[in-house]
């Protein structure tokens, strides 16, 4: 089989497709989808900011009317507590009026004071829980509320952090302190946060994630040592422990080396999210593959192709290669346009933040942009499977309608059904092709952990997924080959 002739047919087919107005309409759809994706992110960020502002305004109102103030036995606000609450409200209102960004540590510190109902529960800039504060504040002198307000008024984040670390240390040393097994870990992590001057909320979140991971590891160790569990469950617990340990390593490294995560309203978060949002490309690829051969049968031009100097096999795979090439082009177009949209709508700040992974037991840095482009490249795998499936059905049934229906049902409805089977822990879900085409999950620890927690005993491996992909491709291509070459095409 001459590959040059197949590529020549594919090139002619691609040129013929792009000579049609409909193909450029499809290109416009891809571009429009990217713009809508960016607009949705902008609107989502605006709504989130509006919700945050509304929440702060509600907090101010509750502080001013005494809702958050301590009450006497008759249910009336205590005068000193009410005065302190009004002082907090005044500071919050001043921050709003000065349009201080909502990620500023002072918002979180004030809203966490006195264990308010919207306490975000973090130690660093978020504050310590009210019950713990009330016990240990007597050791340090003055109330926690008063000292917090003082640090906020002076915009003294370092002093505030040092004060909170002191509170924790005093709590550990005090015989009357509430037992907190994570206190020493918090002190160590907060000291790192203080030394690195990490005022942003992501640092607080990392501390909570590290503590949560370490608690989870302790729980998994108990499961591993539980002799009453089945061996499959113990093995699943060992896998989960390995992934949680890697996540804890990366979070601690990020805190120690001031590496912010790609989350929130940032370029990397936007671009990374876009790399997994390729459904529109998938739909377009199915439509293309379903019609590229079926159209020849429906229009009768297949007879004219049969008298060309090219063999059936070359015609068959020339068109298939064209479908793959055009579909891959749509994916490349999305990657390029999404990059431009991200820079224009969000800005390129943080674009070169490193991507963290664990290699050989140690945390390694690499390019986050290359990681995202790698995700886009892996997105070719489900596209190839969709194109091959649609091409097979259109060749077998010689109908683009049935090819579209079967392919959509297999990809969307079938995958949904198999997800239900996975939750029910039925082994059959492992053998569904579109449960194995998302290879990106094997290169992201957090995604792998999520998948393992959904299907702890039926969790597939990379080699298993590759084997399933190869098996399905062989079956699809065998059906394509024998259907087109051994049947009458008239």
**Has residue 37 got a pLDDT over 70?**
yes
pLDDT tens for 340-380 read 999 999 998 889 999 999 988 899 999 999 999 999 999 99
pLDDT at 114: 46
Cα–Cα distances in angstroms (integers) from residue 399 to residues 320, 473, 482, in the given order: 16, 21, 17
Q: Is residue 81 part of a domain?
A: yes
pLDDT tens for 382-396 read 999 999 999 998 888
Q: Is residue 223 part of a domain?
A: no
**Has residue 471 got a pLDDT over 90?**
yes
Question: In this structure, are 113 and 189 located in the same domain?
Answer: yes
| 357 vs 359: CA distance, rounded Å | 6
Question: In this structure, are 369 and 270 located in the same domain?
Answer: yes
Give the pLDDT mean for 63-76. 78
Question: In this structure, are 378 and 286 located in the same domain?
Answer: yes
How large a percentage of the chain has pLDDT more than 90? Answer: 42
Token reading at 164: 């909170």
Question: In this structure, are 25 and 135 located in the same domain?
Answer: no
Question: In 3-state terms, what secondary structure has residue 22?
Answer: helix
Within 117-182, where are the H helices? 130-140, 144-153, 157-173
Least reliable range by pLDDT among 141-150, 201-210, 286-295:
141-150
Closest Cα to residue 78, out of 145, 2, 20, 178? 145
Range of the domain at 438: 3-32+265-485
Split at pLDDT 50, 70, 90, the class of 419 is low
Question: In this structure, are 17 and 166 located in the same domain?
Answer: no
The whole-model pTM stands at 0.83
Split at pLDDT 50, 70, 90, the class of 334 is very high
Question: In this structure, are 26 and 66 located in the same domain?
Answer: no
Question: Is the Cβ–Cβ distance between 368 and 262 less than 8 Å?
Answer: yes
Question: In this structure, are 10 and 89 located in the same domain?
Answer: no
Considering only CA atoms, give the Rg of the chain: 29
Give the pLDDT mean for 277-288. 91
Q: Is residue 479 part of a domain?
A: yes
Give the pLDDT mean for 97-122. 68
**Number of folded domains in the chain?**
2
**Has residue 333 got a pLDDT over 90?**
yes
Give the pLDDT mean for 85-89. 86
pLDDT at 179: 54
Question: Is the Cβ–Cβ distance between 127 and 113 less than 8 Å?
Answer: yes
Question: In this structure, are 172 and 276 located in the same domain?
Answer: no
Question: In this structure, are 316 and 412 located in the same domain?
Answer: yes
**Has residue 126 got a pLDDT over 50?**
no
| 263 vs 121: CA distance, rounded Å | 20
Task: Check residues 172 and 402 and name the one with the higher pLDDT.
Answer: 402
Split at pLDDT 50, 70, 90, the class of 459 is low
Question: In this structure, are 294 and 391 located in the same domain?
Answer: yes
End-to-end CA distance of the chain: 24
Q: Is residue 292 part of a domain?
A: yes
Question: Domain boundary at 201, 224, 250, which?
Answer: 201
Mean pLDDT of all residues belonging to the chain: 83
């Amino acid at each position: 089989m001459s590959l040059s002739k197949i590529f020549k047919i594919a090139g002619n087919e691609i040129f013929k497709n792009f000579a049609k107005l409909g193909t450029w309409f499809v290109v416009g759809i891809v571009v429009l989808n990217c713009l809508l994706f960016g607009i949705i992110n902008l609107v989502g960020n605006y709504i989130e900011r509006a919700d945050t502002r509304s929440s702060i305004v509600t907090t101010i109102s509750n502080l001013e009317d005494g809702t958050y103030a301590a009450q006497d036995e008759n249910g009336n606000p205590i005068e000193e507590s009410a005065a302190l609450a009004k002082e907090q409200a005044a500071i919050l209102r001043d921050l709003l009026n000065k349009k201080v960004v909502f990620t500023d540590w002072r918002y979180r510190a004030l809203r966490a004071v006195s264990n308010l109902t919207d306490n975000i529960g973090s130690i660093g800039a978020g504050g310590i829980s009210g019950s713990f504060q009330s016990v240990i504040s007597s050791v340090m002198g003055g109330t926690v509320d008063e000292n917090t307000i003082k640090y906020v008024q002076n915009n003294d984040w370092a002093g505030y952090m040092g004060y909170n670390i002191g509170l924790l240390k005093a709590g550990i040393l005090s015989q009357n302190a509430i037992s907190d097994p994570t206190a020493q870990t918090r002190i160590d992590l907060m000291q790192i946060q203080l030394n690195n001057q990490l005022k942003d909320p992501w640092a607080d979140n990392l501390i909570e994630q590290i503590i949560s991971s370490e608690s989870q590891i302790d729980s998994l160790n108990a499961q591993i040592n539980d002799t009453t569990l089945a061996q499959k469950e113990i093995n699943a617990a060992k896998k989960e422990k390995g992934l949680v340990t890697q996540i804890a390593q990366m979070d601690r490294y990020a805190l120690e080396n001031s590496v912010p995560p790609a989350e929130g309203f940032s370029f990397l978060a936007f671009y990374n999210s876009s790399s997994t949002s390729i459904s529109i490309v998938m739909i377009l690829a199915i439509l293309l593959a379903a019609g590229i051969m079926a159209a020849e049968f429906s229009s009768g031009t297949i007879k004219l192709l049969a008298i060309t100097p090219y063999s059936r096999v070359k015609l068959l795979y020339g068109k298939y290669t064209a479908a793959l090439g055009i579909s891959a082009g749509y994916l490349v177009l999305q990657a390029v346009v999404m990059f431009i949209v991200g820079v224009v709508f969000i800005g390129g700040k943080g674009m070169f933040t490193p991507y963290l992974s664990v290699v050989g037991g140690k945390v390694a840095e690499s390019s986050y942009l290359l990681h995202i482009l790698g995700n886009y490249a892996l997105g070719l795998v489900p596209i190839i499977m969709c194109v091959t499936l649609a091409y097979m059905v259109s060749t077998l049934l010689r109908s683009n309608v049935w090819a579209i229906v079967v392919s959509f049902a297999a990809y969307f409805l079938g995958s949904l059904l198999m997800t239900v089977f996975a939750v029910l822990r039925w082994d059959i879900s492992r053998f569904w092709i579109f449960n194995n085409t998302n290879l990106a999950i094997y290169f992201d620890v957090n995604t792998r952990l999520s998948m393992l927690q959904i299907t702890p005993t039926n969790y597939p491996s990379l080699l298993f997924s590759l084997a399933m992909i190869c098996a399905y491709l062989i079956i699809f291509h065998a059906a394509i080959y024998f259907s087109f070459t051994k049947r009458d095409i008239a």
